[in-house]
């Protein structure tokens, strides 16, 4: 007993240590985004919100996030692309899950086909997409990012949604069917209300996938692209300032808020039908 308690302490301490390490970069960017200096390093000179909003802080015109026209454009692109990906991903995920919940010929094949998008390294997939767009002569725009991110968002959505189709849900649907509801009515009046929270969860999660994606988008984006593409492109030509931390803090906070909300919705099991 004594030993069991000791071992539990050891495992807790270990997990805590790794957690602290994994959180270190997050703490650093939030903390240093308020640093009153042009350097991205330590020490911390003093508290300031300048890197969030103030125009032309440095002699070369670089300023804070909200005064940076490129960053604002990238932010708009991130939101537009994210919403498009989330809407389409939700529809396709729900349709696919309604089919893949059943057993039928080819089910395993299609299940793994959707999952395989995770298994293809981002750089290789991004490269192939670049070739495709070039061959079809599709002009690059921020919208060329949408299908590329959509392919990547689907497997996540499917894995999150499929477990919701459990025995209990099936029983309720069967009851409705026995009582004379046609398939469309069953979906609209029974299935959809019962999986509603999970559907919203998939929507939010897909948005988050799009919001943070870089390796695939970098190949097919033009102009400022989305926020991650903008930051990645800019750092290669200009030395980074704490504005990066400010943008990073905002980008990360949005993602965290959405994932927490999505997680709460996904884990919610029942919604009252009537």
Partner 1 sequence: MAIGRKLSNYLLLSPAIVLLGIFLIIPLLFDIALSFWTPSLTGYQQIFTLENYQNLGLPAYTQAIETTFTLSFETVVVTLILAYPIAYTLAYKIRSPRKQTLILFTLVIPFLMDYTTRTISWYPILGLNGIINALLMDLGLTSSPVNLLFNQTAVIVVWFQAYVLFMMTPIFLALSKINPSLVDAARSLGASSWTAFRKVTLPLSAPGMVVGTIYVLVSTVSDFPTVRLFGRGIQTVGLAIAQQADGLNWPFAAALAVLVIAVILGAFYIIIRYVDVQQLF
User: Between residue 44 and residue 103, which ones bind partner 1 under the rule CB under 8 A?
Assistant: 91-92, 95-96, 98-100, 102
Helix (H, G, I), strand (E, B) or coil at 47: strand
Nearer residue to partner 1 within complex by CB, 4 or 179: 4
Site string for partner 1, 177-206 (x = CB under 8 A): ------x-----------------------
When asked if residue 24 is in the footprint of partner 1 (CB under 8 A), the reply is: yes
Cis amide prior to 43 (ω within 30 degrees): yes
Does position 207 interact with partner 1 (CB under 8 A)? The reply is: no
3-state secondary structure of 165: coil
Among 36, 38, 40, 223, binds partner 1 (CB under 8 A): 40
Sequence-distant (≥ 6) Cβ neighbours of residue 194 within 8 angstroms: 169, 172, 270, 271, 273
Tell me if 122 contacts partner 1 by CB under 8 A. Answer: yes
Which is nearer to partner 1, 200 or 214 (by Cβ)? Answer: 214
Q: How far apart are CB 104 and partner 1 at their closest, in Å?
A: 5
Q: Residue 218, interface with partner 1 (CB under 8 A)?
A: yes
Nearest partner of 233 among 55, 70, 119, 61, judged by Cα: 70
Q: How far is CA 222 from CA 139, 225, 251, in A?
A: 10, 6, 20
When asked if residue 145 is in the footprint of partner 1 (CB under 8 A), the reply is no
Give least dist CB 23 to partner 1, A.
6
Q: What per-residue string of b and e applies to 136-151 under the rule 16 or more CB within 10 Å gives b?
A: eeeeeebebbbbbbbb
Nearer to partner 1, 3 or 274 (CB): 3
Number of residues that bind partner 1 (CB under 8 A): 84
Residue number with CB closer to partner 1 (57 or 158): 158
Residue 214, φ and ψ in degrees, nearest 5? -130, -50
Interacting residue with partner 1 among 38, 48, 73, 128 (CB under 8 A): 128
Alpha-carbon gap, residue 51 to 234, rounded angstroms: 16
Shortest reach from residue 12's CB to partner 1, in Å: 7
Q: How far is the CB of 69 from partner 1 (least distance, A)?
A: 19
- Identify the residue among 59, 60, 180, 236 touching partner 1 (CB under 8 A): 236
Residue ranges of the alpha helices (H) in the chain? 2-32, 50-53, 69-100, 107-119, 122-135, 145-161, 167-178, 183-185, 192-212, 217-220, 227-235, 243-266
């Amino acid at each position: 007993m004594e030993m069991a308690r000791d071992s539990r302490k050891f495992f807790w301490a270990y997990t805590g240590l790794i957690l602290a390490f994994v959180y270190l970069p997050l703490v650093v960017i939030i903390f240093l985004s308020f640093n009153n200096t042009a350097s991205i390093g330590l020490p911390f000179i003093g508290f300031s919100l300048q890197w969030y909003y103030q125009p032309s802080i440095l002699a070369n015109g670089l300023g804070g996030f909200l005064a940076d026209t490129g960053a604002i454009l990238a932010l708009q692109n991130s939101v537009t692309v994210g919403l498009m990906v989330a809407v389409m991903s939700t529809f396709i995920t729900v349709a696919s899950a309604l089919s893949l919940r059943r057993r039928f010929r080819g089910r395993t094949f299609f299940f793994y086909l959707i999952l395989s998008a995770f298994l293809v390294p981002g750089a290789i997939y991004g490269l192939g997409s670049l070739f495709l767009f070039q061959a079809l002569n599709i002009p690059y725009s921020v919208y060329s990012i949408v299908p590329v991110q959509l392919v990547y968002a689907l497997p996540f959505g499917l894995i999150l949604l499929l477990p919701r189709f459990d025995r209990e849900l099936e029983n309720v649907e069967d009851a409705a069917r026995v009582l004379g509801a046609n398939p469309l009515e069953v979906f609209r009046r029974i299935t959809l209300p019962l999986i509603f929270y999970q559907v919203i969860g998939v929507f939010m999660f897909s948005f988050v996938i799009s919001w943070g994606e870089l390796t695939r988008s970098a190949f097919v984006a033009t102009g400022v692209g989305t926020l991650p593409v903008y930051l990645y492109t800019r750092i290669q030509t200009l030395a980074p300032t704490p504005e990066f931390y400010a943008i990073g803090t905002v980008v990360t906070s949005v993602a965290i808020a959405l994932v927490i909300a999505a997680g709460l919705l996904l884990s919610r099991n029942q919604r009252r039908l009537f």
